[in-house]
């Protein structure tokens, strides 16, 4: 697959059908990432603000129906204390991620966002708090939020209904994503690789949907089962296929911000490096306080460093240097609109 070419559905399907690592594809993707982002890998400080969720996605350990889940939510002061530490370590993006926790009211979220923006000048705030009304998204934006992450999970309606209960719908998810774009957020979306019942055609639809949405950030990671969910007996997704897809996404979205995700590294740490060498250009070190970190269990054995943030950061810097990249902690905004629109 060459850069700057929009492959047909059938050639995309052919690339996806093999789940082996493809050196040539990765090298090509790396060339494109270096043309646009040089050797820079942007670091984002991830803060998992609440493990409560009102939803019941069948794949996720935080689902409301999981009575075994350990729940916590951080207070405003705790979140600001994490930002303070992160700011001292050089982070200039904070990602506030959590389940859909009804106790996190809009006014609480706005208060936290505006406090971070005023206390830590020059920072970008990214929210990842699920589906909300337009007016809520607007209020967060007015409070200063810059970016929003909301994976579409699967762009096929039938598949969506196999991963989620009836109370959730793909159309609502899409509506949220387009609302976020309209409000001027830098938007991130993405999907799980190897989720139960996923077909090659589903992944082609995911890529087509991303081309339609034209997000600034694209996060993909393998499905990893969780012992206390309805999907406990399903196989994990393939790390090799995820890495191939990272390369494909880099070629199709030359300017996008693509993280080497935690679920990929959970399957095997080596995969993080492979993703970086195949076009990924973001890492999100976890700044969540150690005392609650293990409770944010989306899936089994979720990679969770027991190191203090500063030590973990040193490790990441060294790892990046070893494989020929440079950790950058500036805001790291997207360089240009992601989709090469004349390809569609």
Instruction: Give the list of residues 6+ apart from residue 66 with CB closer than 8 angstroms, or none.
Output: 226, 228, 229
* Binding residue (CB under 6 A) for ligand 5AD from 37, 42, 52, 59: 59
Measure the N-to-C terminal CA separation of the chain; round to a whole number of Å.
16
Q: Tell me the closest approach of the beta carbon of residue 4 to ligand 5AD, in angstroms.
A: 29
Smallest distance, Å, CB 28 to ligand SF4? 32
Contact residues for ligand SF4, defined by CB under 6 A = 53, 55, 57, 60, 62-63, 99-100, 130
Of 51 and 205, which CB lies nearer to ligand SF4 in the complex structure? 51
Q: Do residues 92 and 125 make contact, with C-beta atoms less than 8 angstroms apart?
A: no
Cβ–Cβ under 8 Å, residues 188 and 152: no
DSSP 183-210: TT-EEEEEEEES-TT--HHHHHHHHHHH
Minimum CB distance to ligand 5AD smaller for 116 or for 298: 298
* Shortest separation between residue 250's beta carbon and ligand SF4, angstroms: 25
Instruction: Choose the one of ligand 5AD, ligand SF4, none that binds residue 263, judging by a C-beta under 5 to 8 angstroms depending on kind.
Output: ligand 5AD
> What tokens does 338 get?
């992601």
Using the rule CB under 6 A, which residue among 151, 173, 250, 272 binds ligand 5AD?
A: 151
Judged by CB under 6 A, which of 137, 160, 209, 299 binds ligand 5AD? 299
263 interacts with ligand 5AD by CB under 6 A: yes
Contact set for ligand 5AD, span 207-246 (CB under 6 A): 221, 223-224, 226
Sheet of 40-43, strand order: 282-283, 40-43, 326-328
Handedness of CA 25, 29, 31, 32 (dihedral sign): positive
Helix (H) or strand (E) holding 221, with range, is strand 217-222
Residue 298 lies near ligand 5AD (rule: CB under 6 A):
yes
Binding site residues, ligand 5AD, CB under 6 A: 59-60, 151, 153, 192, 221, 223-224, 226, 263, 298-299
């Amino acid at each position: 697959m060459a850069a700057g070419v929009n492959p047909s559905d059938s050639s995309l399907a052919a690339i996806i059908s093999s789940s082996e690592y493809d050196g040539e594809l990765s090298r090509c993707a790396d060339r494109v990432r270096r043309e646009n982002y040089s050797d820079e890998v942007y670091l984002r400080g991830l803060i998992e603000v609440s493990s409560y969720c009102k939803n019941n996605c069948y794949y996720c350990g935080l689902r409301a129906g999981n009575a075994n889940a350990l729940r916590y939510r951080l207070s405003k002061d705790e979140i600001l204390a994490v930002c303070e530490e992160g700011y001292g370590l050089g982070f200039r993006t904070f990602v506030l991620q959590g389940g859909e926790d009804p106790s996190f009211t809009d006014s609480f979220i706005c208060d936290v966002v505006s406090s971070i923006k005023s206390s830590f000048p020059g920072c970008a705030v990214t929210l990842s708090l699920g589906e909300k009304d337009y007016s809520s998204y607007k209020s967060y934006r007015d409070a200063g939020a810059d970016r929003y992450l909301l994976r579409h999970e699967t762009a096929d309606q039938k598949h969506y209904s196999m991963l989620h209960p009836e109370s959730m719908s793909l159309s609502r998810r899409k509506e949220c994503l387009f609302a976020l774009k309209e409000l001027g957020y830098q938007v991130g979306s993405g999907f799980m690789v190897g989720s139960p019942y996923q077909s090659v055609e589903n992944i082609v639809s995911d890529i087509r949907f991303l081309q339609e949405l034209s997000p600034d950030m694209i996060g993909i990671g393998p499905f990893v089962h969780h012992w206390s969910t309805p999907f406990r007996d399903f196989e994990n997704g393939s790390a090799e296929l995820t890495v191939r897809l990272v390369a494909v996404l880099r070629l199709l979205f030359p300017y996008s911000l693509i993280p080497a995700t935690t679920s990929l590294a959970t399957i095997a740490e080596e995969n993080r490096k492979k993703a970086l060498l195949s076009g990924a250009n973001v890492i999100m070190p976890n700044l969540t306080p150690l005392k609650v970190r293990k409770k944010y269990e989306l899936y089994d054995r979720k990679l969770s460093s027991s190191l203090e943030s500063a030590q973990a950061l040193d490790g990441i810097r060294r790892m990046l240097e070893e494989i020929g990249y440079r950790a950058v902690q500036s805001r790291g905004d997207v360089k240009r609109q992601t989709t090469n629109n004349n390809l569609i």
